[in-house]
Structure 1
Amino acid sequence: MPDPSDFPESTLVPVNGVELEVFEAGRHNAGRPVVLCHGWPEHAYSWRHQVPALVEAGYHVIVPNQRGYGGSSRPAEVTAYDVEHLSGDLVALLDHYGYDDATFIGHDWGAFVVWGLTLLHPHRVNGVINLSLPYQERGERPWIEVMEEVLGGDFYFVHFNRQPGVADAVLDANTSQFLRNLYRKNEPPREPQPGMAMANLARAQTPLGEPVMSDSELAVFVSAFESTGFTGSINWYRNLDRNWRLLADADPIIQQPVLMIYGDRDLVARSERLAEFVPQVEVVTLDCGHWIQQELPDETNRAILTWLEQQGA
């Protein structure tokens, strides 16, 4: 079995006006690129179980810490984190490694960026595997506006946008506790609490459920966010309505073959109309929560590798 503790060393790669901290493995498999895109509040290291399995299966694996994360650049302007910049980073990363296109795998916010990349730069993407977050339909009104109306001002997406700096400060002050409380699985159901969920989590003394990772694995995430703070990563949320506008002219149909992996107990809503926007989609559901590739690494790897083999990627 590949050893996930054997995570590659990082290099800084200049792309699109910033530098990305990139973890690369399997260069001897050049010609079969797979790019792994983490979510929030994550790190390239969230793919530690997938990297060795993909290399062993013959892929050249490229795992960036995206802008705002880890050792990558953290521009000050909020608009530097919109989908145009984030997808532009990935296009420039392909250019750096000399690839016309690649298969992209995204989890959570990384999935949002991969969907956006596929809409904005379709010729650079030959296949998509997304975990947790399905394709988001672009409705008549901007996303945050709708969320505010339906879910209220305390919903964390809305709060991040309407009260800039407030959540960042709470998370920065409680980094270790917040990440420990967030990365849990098999959590007992509980009544919704008043206030903003992420701030509540950061202040909670007692974690629920079971840890998703070992203390030494969690320490990688804690040390990264203690060094960077949370503002860069939260700025991704602060561009949702801007992203809604930036995607206005894109053809909304994803033509590439896609594997969508859901966690049965994930709180992220599934898409009822996925196949209308993603006609070549195959759906796999695993018995886990939100942190799919970390909760069930072997099952995730099996789903990914089986699908890639079928695509002849």
Structure 2
Amino acid sequence: MSAADKLTPGDTRVKYETAQIRGKTYSYMLGEPEGQPKDTIVLVHGFPDIGFGWRCQIPYLISLGLRVVVPDMLGYGGTDAPAEIEPYSLKSLSDDLAELARKFVGEDGQIILGGHDWGGAVVWRLPLWHPKLIKGVFSVCTPFPPPRSEYHDLKDVIALGILTNFKYQLQFRGPETEANIQGEEKLRQFFTCMFGGRTSDGEPAFDVSKGILFDKLDSLKPSPLLSKEELEYYVKKYAAHPAPELHGPLNWYRTAKLNFEEDRPLAETPTVLEMPSLLVTAEKDTALPPEMARNMDKYFKDLTKKSVNASHWALTQAGPQVNEYIGEWIKSSVWCEALPTKSSL
């Protein structure tokens, strides 16, 4: 196994630790480079994932000389899963991550911050609440959602023909999904579904315009994105929480009004992120299509945009390309190193 090979379940190249964060237990992986770390990077996963979702990036980032901190986010894996929705707001999660980060860099230190899916939404918000903490921020797939001065419920927005790619979220924020997905066998089917498994006829069991098609779950073939060992790792991580095991993770979809209320102070002044920023879109992402990012440049002083030929699961499907973009951006924009030109190679 080379140092850059992706992590495997229980991989000894990282430590598995917990921390008490604002009254909650957070579980995280910690990867340390040889010698003094050049920087600390915190990676934030989305739904339905765990910190292990960054398995293709963690060894690579360690090889760059980074200390890598990868939590299971609230509701997931070895981290607490409160029943109420308030702890799952973007501000609350940002405050949690800021406290976790300061355990490594102190009150005056800085981190590089990266996110995917819901993790992307969090990492775009955290610099607005804790700007001095962030040395650079990047997101894979998730565009920047600016603070809004008016609230419109997702159901009403979709009824107008806008954000129809988010229609699945209406299912997720309701009771149906967590009621139907309980126990290890259903979790196994759920992950196979969400990570692109298809029936023998080539039909998916998830559609962004409908959500999970529960009647197809038991006829899915294995997902090409998860090995059997990886699938079982996900199942065991989620099954560690009492049924309904998806209640905590799905609470993230139930915080829209709360996020709006907490964002009000941010919406009162123009939003500009000053630190180096990177967005890597995925060309085949049906939930977060690249065109959603077309108007976000105005919110950034130093934004780099890249794209990969992958689905929503770009972290694994296009791992080497994603790593290359992140690495180049860290070296050139965050560390301000001169990158070699093609003519000098």
Q: How far did 1:300 drift?
A: 1.0
Q: How far did 1:191 drift?
A: 12
Q: Of residues 35, 38, 44 in structure 1, which corresponds to 2:42?
A: 35
CA distance in 2 between counterparts of 1:191 and 1:69 reads 22
Instruction: Extract unaligned runs of 5+ from structure 1.
Output: none
2:20 corresponding residue in structure 1: 14
Q: How far did 1:31 drift?
A: 5.0
Q: How far did 1:29 drift?
A: 3.7
Percent sequence identity is: 23
CA distance in 2 between counterparts of 1:88 and 1:136 reads 18
Give the total of aligned pairs.
309
Q: Of residues 231, 239, 247 in structure 1, which corresponds to 2:255?
A: 239
Q: Secondary structure at the match of 2:226?
A: coil
The CA deviation string for residues 152-171 of structure 1, in whole angstroms up to 9 with x for no partner, is: 8x93322333x3x3221112
Q: How far did 1:207 drift?
A: 3.4
1:23 corresponding residue in structure 2: 29
Whether 1:116 and 2:125 are equivalent positions in the alignment is yes
Alignment check: 8 A CA contact 1:177 1:202 kept: no
1:104 corresponding residue in structure 2: 113
Query: After TM superposition, what 4+ stretches of structure 1 lie above 6 angstroms from structure 2?
Result: 185-195
Q: Of residues 68, 86, 89 in structure 1, which corresponds to 2:93?
A: 86
Give the RMSD, CA atoms, in angstroms: 2.7
Whether 1:280 and 2:289 are equivalent positions in the alignment is no
Whether 1:265 and 2:277 are equivalent positions in the alignment is no
The residue type equivalent to 2:282 in the other structure is G
Q: Secondary structure at the match of 2:135?
A: strand
Q: Secondary structure at the match of 1:246?
A: helix
Q: Of residues 69, 77, 84 in structure 2, which corresponds to 1:77?
A: 84
Q: Which one is further off, 250-259 or 264-273?
A: 250-259
2:211 corresponding residue in structure 1: 197
What are the within-5 Å matches in structure 2 for residues 175-214 of structure 1? 175-184=187-196, 196-198=210-212, 200=213, 203-207=216-220, 211-214=224-227
Q: Of residues 5, 27, 45 in structure 2, which corresponds to 1:3?
A: 5
The two structures have a TM-score, normalised by structure 1, of: 0.89
Q: Which one is further off, 169-178 or 40-49?
A: 169-178
Q: How far did 1:202 drift?
A: 7.5
Q: Which one is further off, 175-184 or 7-16?
A: 7-16
The residue type equivalent to 1:242 in the other structure is L
Q: How far did 1:241 drift?
A: 1.9
The residue type equivalent to 2:30 in the other structure is E
* Residues 1:297 and 1:97: Cα distance change in structure 2 (over 3 Å): same
Q: Which one is further off, 28-37 or 43-52?
A: 28-37
* Residues 1:87 and 1:192: Cα distance change in structure 2 (over 3 Å): closer
Alignment check: 8 A CA contact 2:273 2:300 kept: yes
Q: Of residues 200, 219, 230 in structure 1, which corresponds to 2:232?
A: 219
Q: How far did 1:186 drift?
A: 10
Alignment check: 8 A CA contact 2:276 2:302 kept: yes
CA distance in 1 between counterparts of 2:204 and 2:103 reads 47
CA distance in 1 between counterparts of 2:123 and 2:283 reads 22
* Residues 1:202 and 1:253: Cα distance change in structure 2 (over 3 Å): farther
Whether 1:160 and 2:172 are equivalent positions in the alignment is yes
Alignment check: 8 A CA contact 1:87 1:116 kept: yes
The two structures have a TM-score, normalised by structure 2, of: 0.81
Q: Secondary structure at the match of 1:248?
A: helix
CA distance in 2 between counterparts of 1:30 and 1:195 reads 44
The residue type equivalent to 1:254 in the other structure is L
The CA deviation string for residues 196-222 of structure 1, in whole angstroms up to 9 with x for no partner, is: 412x15842333795212111122112
2:341 corresponding residue in structure 1: none
Larger gyration radius, structure 1 or structure 2? 2
The CA deviation string for residues 4-62 of structure 1, in whole angstroms up to 9 with x for no partner, is: 23352311111111111010011644351000000101000011111111111110100
The residue type equivalent to 1:95 in the other structure is R
CA distance in 1 between counterparts of 2:300 and 2:203 reads 32
